Amino acid sequence: MSEVKAFAAKEVAADLVAISIERRDVTANDVAIDIMYCGVCHSDIHQVANDWGGSKYPIVPGHEIVGEVIDVGDNVSNFKVGDLVGVGCMVDSCQTCDSCKNDLEQFCEEGMTATYNSKDKHLGGRTFGGYSQRVIVDKEFVLRIPTNLDVKAVAPLLCAGITTYSPLNQWNIKKGDKVGVIGLGGLGHMGIKFARALLAETVMITTSEGKKEDAKRLGADSVLISKDAAAMKAHKGSFDFLLNTVPVGHDANPYIELLKVDGTMVFVGAIEPLEPIHGGGLIMGRKRIAGSLIGGIKETQEMLDFCGEHNIVSDVEMIKMNEINTAFKRVKKNDVKYRFVIDMKSLK
């Protein structure tokens, strides 16, 4: 084992501070990665605050990792020292259940091993994430990064990217479909970019007039202000698909009215109770609501390759590691366009 520098919350809702953590030695199936950049996800803040329950301290957050391979195990043939790679929200799973065999490791029947705050089957205790110098990961959970992309802006693709790409992919969004992206933030701005690249008619749906210009800069064909009753009525029954990225509980009924017959709304943001949904809104039109959780490793690699083909990255603001607590406060205030990324060289 080796000690590496990291930033961690030592107790619930505490500021992150510098600590040392242990990383395991490289085994036959492992890839050792020197972390260059790590994205800041709102999930990191939720975990530090124990908003979802189950947080164990100290927590080293970070599941949007980009770095360089510095060592590989004897059984690793698809990665070599010097490769540019990524690690997302998972670092292991059972690999034998039906979900894993169907490339849906995020739904592993034994429970996926999350990049941080999961049981560490190698060292015991909990897994530590990307707010650190290095990470050791099973080769099956390492992703190849297209080298034509701006590497600093790639990190959020490993969570925000796959979270929004997967439902668009699973529901086969294509040219001619009308897609609404609800909420313009870390997830929503990626949803716009992907829907646009898939040649769908892309509509940004937001409560804020002030986001119109930025939504169009990102690629939206038009913007629908959800507080404008007349505008909502004009779009009633016209959407094939809605990607709902709102991160908190809310009233989804007005959005259901936007769907056409057999239309679908997929939730990717609100991991908490929603306001009651009126069954009539679904029955009258055979409409569907669904949820989606990141994506499997195969689909995540497909997403990265798609980004390479279409030159898609996140809009990011770079910070140093010692600025993380200020960044957390700004995320809570929605004061970032649209994801913070930590330059991990600042930790060394």
> What pLDDT is recorded for position 306?
98
Distance between CA atoms of residues 323 and 168, nearest Å: 34
Q: Which residues contact 341 (CB under 8 A, 6 or more apart)?
A: 37, 38, 39, 40, 64, 152, 153, 155, 156, 314, 316, 317, 318, 319
How does residue 1 score in pLDDT terms, banded at 50, 70 and 90?
A: confident
For residues 135-144, give the mean pLDDT: 98
Mean pLDDT of the chain: 97
Counting residues of the chain whose pLDDT is more than 90, the rounded percentage is 99
Answer whether residue 71 shows pLDDT above 80: yes
Q: Is-same-fold flag (2-159+295-304+314-347; 160-291)?
A: no
Cβ atoms of 190 and 213 within 8 Å: the answer is no
* Domain limits, the chain: 2-159+295-304+314-347, 160-291
Strand pairing class (84-87; 143-144): antiparallel
pLDDT at 29 over 80: yes
Query: What pLDDT is stored for residue 169 in this prediction?
Result: 98
Written as six digits, the tokens of 326 are 């200020």
Query: What pLDDT was estimated at residue 93?
Result: 98
Q: Amino acid identity, residue 264?
A: T
What class has domain 2-159+295-304+314-347?
A: alpha beta
Largest CA distance in the chain: 64
206 CB-near residues (< 8 Å, 6+ apart): 182, 183, 184, 188, 215, 223, 224, 225, 226
CB 177 within 8 A of CB 143: no
pLDDT for 348 beyond 80? no
φ, ψ for residue 261, nearest 5 deg: -55, 130
Q: Which amino acid is at 137?
A: V
Q: Judge: domain 160-291, CATH 3.40.50.720.
A: yes
Which residue's entry shows tokens 């406060």? Answer: 329
Task: Please write the tens of the pLDDT for every residue from 296-336.
Answer: 999 999 999 999 999 999 999 999 999 999 999 999 999 99
pLDDT, mean of residues 79-98: 98
Q: Tell me the pLDDT tens digit for each residue of 242-294.
A: 999 999 999 999 999 999 999 999 999 999 999 999 999 999 999 999 999 99
